[in-house]
Amino acid sequence: MESGNQTLAPKFILLGLSQEARLQPLLFWLFLSVYLITFIGNLLIIMAIITDSYLHTPMYFFLSNLSFADICFTSITVPKMLLNIQMQSKVITFEGCLYQMYFFMLFGGLDNFLLTAMAYDRFVAICHPLHYMVIMNPKFCGVLLLASWLLSILDSLLHTLMVLRLSFCTQLEIPHFFCELNQVIQLACSDTFLNELVIYFTAGLLGIIPLTGIVFSYCKIVTSVLKISSASGKYKAFSTCGSHLSVVSLFYGTGLGVYLSSAATENPRESAIASVMYTVVTPMLNPFIYSLRNKDIKQALVKLFN
């Protein structure tokens, strides 16, 4: 490898959301508060589900795993950002950048697959209620969880290994607060066509297919609910999947919004600010959505505190 414009052990510079010194304390306390709320909120959801035997059902089994994934998802990026602000250092090693990319994609993908599994759970519960416990048995739920983990691990491992084949120049500034895959690839000196091809292929395969499954499940759910004659029956059926539908809308809505904003603007800093929605805000709001819209979670939290 040439020593003039390349390096064997590159170091990246995370420029963050803003380089203005007067905004750094505000960003630190804001993101620290959001991170603590996310961590504590999702941890309480997990503890409530574990301690309340009434919540030992497939729906809450997947919800507890979703909360765990959300904790890990934010823990990959926010603590490093807070450390950089506190230490007044924006450097991240190549190895640290790889680890951050790998686990960020892993838990982001896990979120995606868990939401799909939860949509299928609601589909079976409403469209096939008499066979619900037979279909959604513990073994099948375990298989769905294992498949979600394996697909997420393989996807993130593939992208990380693809980055390892690249060589990087000396200009390694990332206009983001974490090592985002696309931003890192753009800094490479070598040809990135294969990397971009893999990104588009996996995004289509592991993004569109789960989303299609969710949309299909809710189309079937709406069709079944509309056949219910009583208004109270319709309300009860819709209420069982209202929280999940809100989380799905928030997750895919913010993700799609960031993608569209990135395509519409050439300013990477604006894209970084927009990405805060799905990387930080969405995991923070999930516990509130489930605790405020779900009476079972409310009761379990009351028991937990008592």
CA distances from 253 to 246, 271, 298 (A): 10, 15, 26
pLDDT at residue 88 in the model = 87
Asked whether 38 and 202 are in contact (CB, 8 A), the reply is no
Tally of helices (H runs) and strands (E runs) in the chain: 13, 3
β-bridge mates for residue 173, sequence order:
13
CA 82 to chain centre: 20
pLDDT at residue 236 in the model = 73
**Residue length of the chain:** 306
Helix, strand, coil share of the chain (percent; to 5): 80, 5, 20
pLDDT at residue 261 in the model = 62
pLDDT at residue 36 in the model = 97
β-bridge mates for residue 174, sequence order:
14
Residues 6+ apart with CB under 8 A from 285: 250
pLDDT at residue 263 in the model = 57
Q: Which tokens is 70 given?
A: 């959300």
d(CA 112, CA 17) in angstroms, rounded, equals: 26
CA-closest candidate to residue 279, choices 33, 47, 107, 164: 107
β-bridge mates for residue 13, sequence order:
91, 173
Residues of the chain with pLDDT under 50: 1-7
Which residue ranges form the domains of the chain, and what is each CATH number? 11-305 (1.20.1070.10)
Q: Which tokens is 60 given?
A: 């809450």
CA distances from 303 to 44, 55, 176, 254, 299 (A): 12, 12, 42, 33, 6
pLDDT at residue 105 in the model = 95
Q: How many degrees, rounded to 5, is the angle at CA 198 between CA 194 and CA 199?
A: 115
Strands 11-14 and 91-93: antiparallel
d(CA 290, CA 293) in angstroms, rounded, equals: 5
CA 27 to chain centre: 21
pLDDT at residue 210 in the model = 92
Asked whether 101 and 184 are in contact (CB, 8 A), the reply is yes
CA 16 to chain centre: 20
Asked whether 101 and 181 are in contact (CB, 8 A), the reply is yes
